[in-house]
Structure 1
């Protein structure tokens, strides 16, 4: 039997709530939207690149967001020393460029686990708490947890737009 990405009961964004509720709610909505865009597809479909020469695929997006969740919440904000998930020294875009041999089921499990781990490390932390982040240009800045939430929402929103187009190319499904 061919593995298929599971259907998801997508959480919707909150209409009312305090700032933390709104930020976490919108982040969860966008996390679920990416899973929704993948629902019902086979591993082969999830590995299919959008348009040549791009290597962008739905599975690549899931793997990328796993890395992004891990990086911003656990490695940077919480300061947890974790190994990288891919060999970024060999290929800075490894999460996208190595999907041909990827195990989609394992990648989805890693994504779900990383979201839970990310939520756990910030559950009792205030939005004004900061961490020092070294950027690619060598500068270091203090970044608040609030900024990280907003950045993650932006990151998912951008990539969910990519996911919309890839899904439509694969099987004609649009919207949602």
Structure 2
């Protein structure tokens, strides 16, 4: 697993900038998880919260799937970890859940996201809608939203990682 992060060039074009920042934040989360055991990756942030690094990775796999598959191209393969009965199932990790599976699933969703986005212009409207709004989104909005989603959860990941082993950094 490589977690080398590079900020996009300060003079990059808009698409390269958006894709660059999204990849930067994807790699940041991978870095926050690097070198930990499955047990550590399942460690809750601060009880009673069940938020864990593995749960964040599973949640972001769901986000990649939802925005770049369901919304962008109108493909709805269904959820990976959550159900109608447990809408936060992505965050609810158990002893049976492994980093190998969570990481592989997340990376597969990222690759599909990249392929799907490559076929759209930034102003191109999505073919599908999301569950909370019956509206179509342009790719620019989806990229911006995903950057925000990762950045917010990377802040959570910082705190969880520090609690686990004292490791800090950006």
| The two structures share one fold, judged by TM-score above 0.5 | yes
Give the equivalent residue in structure 2 for 1:133.
129
CA distance in 2, matches of 1:134, 1:29: 25
CA distance in 2, matches of 1:120, 1:59: 25
Counterparts of 1:3-152 in structure 2, within 5 Å, are: 6=1, 8-131=3-126, 132-136=128-132, 139-152=133-146
Q: Is the 8 A contact 2:66 2:130 kept in 1?
A: no
Q: Is the 8 A contact 2:18 2:144 kept in 1?
A: yes
Give the secondary-structure state (helix, strand or coil) at the position aligned to 2:129: strand
Instruction: Report the CA distance between 1:124 and its aligned residue.
Output: 2.6
Q: Say what the alpha-carbon RMSD is for the aligned residues.
A: 1.4
- More moved, 27-36 vs 89-98: 89-98
Give the secondary-structure state (helix, strand or coil) at the position aligned to 2:45: coil
CA distance in 2, matches of 1:169, 1:87: 26
Instruction: Report the CA distance between 1:7 and its aligned residue.
Output: 5.3
Instruction: Report the CA distance between 1:84 and its aligned residue.
Output: 1.5
Normalising by structure 1, we get a TM-score of: 0.90
Name structure 2 gaps, 5 residues minimum. Answer: none
Would you say 1:171 and 2:165 are equivalent positions?
Answer: yes
CA distance in 2, matches of 1:87, 1:20: 31
Would you say 1:160 and 2:122 are equivalent positions?
Answer: no
Give the equivalent residue in structure 2 for 1:3.
none
Normalising by structure 2, we get a TM-score of: 0.93
CA distance in 2, matches of 1:99, 1:147: 34
Q: Is the 8 A contact 1:69 1:115 kept in 2?
A: yes
Residues matched between the structures, number: 169
- More moved, 92-101 vs 40-49: 92-101
